[in-house]
Structure 1
């Protein structure tokens, strides 16, 4: 594994772990999905220098469907934005598969950028859920 891969794993584990511990329903579910997708992509990556894998496309498409389902169920804006970032990742898969002029390095950079966007959405969602729970607890403590 390369250094940037280990760094992205560390960031993903830290953000997803915080989401599972401190977040609301949506943050916990998306946090777990991010980790499963990250680990699944490492298992499915064939390190082909010329094309993307259809298995990774299927994994990311399934993650997109799950994100959209969570977005519809929770009705939180940050989940919609995270779903949009995931849709861009899936579109990057399709673009790389269809057009051979899009290099695999361009694809990997775009996946990294949009993945960090998803993690930022997850950080915001975790913070918002924690803040909402703290406010609810404070209002119950008042006489």
Structure 2
């Protein structure tokens, strides 16, 4: 579980975003919210807290899976938010690749990119869920 107050605020924001997507979204939003929540919990389980400066392969593979899911959603759905979520997720994957190729970015910059990319994905998910919810309300389906 997140140890700092900032981590706890981020966890509450993430859970609220995924719950909103699962409760009010259509199928693409539910898939995106589910994958994001599962990946977040898996990241908490596999991250190496004592080894901050080396490549964390498990988290890299999780980010690749999330990139693949968002790319598939962008390919198959007619919505715009998966394209933006895919772009933010690609930033996270590229941050891992920079770390792997030993380009030596400052580690704080690496973690800032990873965290901001996650918040970008959450913002895309919130906007996409809100649009889907409003479209259903306008159509009289809710």
The verdict on a shared fold, with TM-score over 0.5 as the criterion, is yes
Higher helix share: 1
- Give the gaps of 5 or more residues in structure 1: 139-143
Identify the residue that residue 133 of structure 2 maps to in structure 1.
Answer: 130
Rg (Cα) greater in structure: 1
Q: Distance in 2 between matches of 1:15 and 1:118?
A: 10
TM-score with structure 2 length normalisation? 0.92
RMSD between aligned alpha carbons?
Answer: 1.5
Q: Does 2:54 match 1:79?
A: no
Give 1:49 shift: 2.3
Residues 57-96 of structure 1 mapped to structure 2, 5 A cutoff: 57-96=60-99
Measured against aligned partners, the alpha-carbon deviations of 1:25-84 in whole angstroms (never above 9, x if no partner) come to 111110111111111111111021211311110111011101111111112111100011
Q: Distance in 2 between matches of 1:5 and 1:86?
A: 20
Aligned residues: 139
2:105 partner SS: coil
- Structure 1: 4+ residue segments shifted above 2 A: none
TM-score with structure 1 length normalisation? 0.91
Q: Distance in 1 between matches of 2:55 and 2:90?
A: 16
Q: Distance in 1 between matches of 2:90 and 2:23?
A: 26
Identify the residue that residue 23 of structure 2 maps to in structure 1.
Answer: 21
- Give the gaps of 5 or more residues in structure 2: none
Q: Distance in 2 between matches of 1:108 and 1:44?
A: 16
Contact conserved, 1:51 with 1:104, CA < 8 A, in 2?
A: no
Q: Does 2:55 match 1:52?
A: yes
